[in-house]
Amino acid sequence: MKSNWNYSTLGIPDEMFIRAKVPMTKQEVRVVTLGKLRINSADTVIDIGAGTGSLSIEAGLAAKNGVVYAVERKEEAVSLIKKNIEHFGLSNIVTIKGEAPNCINQKLMVDKAIIGGSGGKIDEIFNWLDLHLKPQGRIVANTVTIENTYLLIQKLKEKGYEDIDITQIGIARGKSLSNLTMMIGQNPIYIISAAKGVRK
């Protein structure tokens, strides 16, 4: 069954995705993340550690004349991404099952990169970006730990990235309890974005 999402903004509600037990980036974090990425309609985008694919799906809607590569090592998650691609009727998302960056075609050049989960391979991923992210291309990463937040900032500085932006976002959502609105806190997320320096 197709979703009825046909809007020209980011912002697909979480419950419109086909979900499993895989944790999913929440709507508010998703729109801020993709807003920081600045997708152009013709962009080639890579989503490393795509998880449920919710970022890939919205990126695919934004890059409607481009293509999104969703890289994910877990079989269950890849299967879920494929279901969501079908659910949203998209034909510009390619799933790649495997360990990033080794599983990615060595000829691919991307305009934008999403780092959802690094699987502990930050060095390898940035070495790959050295060769495959176009100059002035942008990256965005979501981190939930202090250590990965720190390591990503250090790596971006070391690699000469520009326009480094660190935003922490804390969301609470109202839940109806009879006639009351109880605020339920989410985990705070760091959204780290940057543009590749011209010389790299």
Residues interacting with a second copy, by CB under 8 A? 6-11, 27-28, 31-32, 34-41, 62-64, 144-150, 153, 157, 164-174, 176-177, 179-188
Q: Which of 190, 199, 197 is nearest to 33 (CA)?
A: 190
The two tokens of residue 106 are: 């060595």
CB of 106 to a second copy, least distance (A): 28
Q: Which of 140, 189, 191, 144 is nearest to 161 (CA)?
A: 140
Closer by beta carbon to a second copy, 128 or else 190: 190
Closer by beta carbon to a second copy, 130 or else 163: 163
* Distance of alpha carbon 87 from alpha carbon 8, whole angstroms: 17
CB of 129 to a second copy, least distance (A): 20
Closer by beta carbon to a second copy, 134 or else 157: 157
CB of 144 to a second copy, least distance (A): 5
Closer by beta carbon to a second copy, 26 or else 83: 26
Do strands 189-195 and 133-143 pair parallel, antiparallel, or not at all (unpaired)? Answer: antiparallel
CB of 149 to a second copy, least distance (A): 5
- For the sheet containing 110-115, what is the strand order? 93-97, 67-72, 44-48, 110-115, 133-143, 189-195
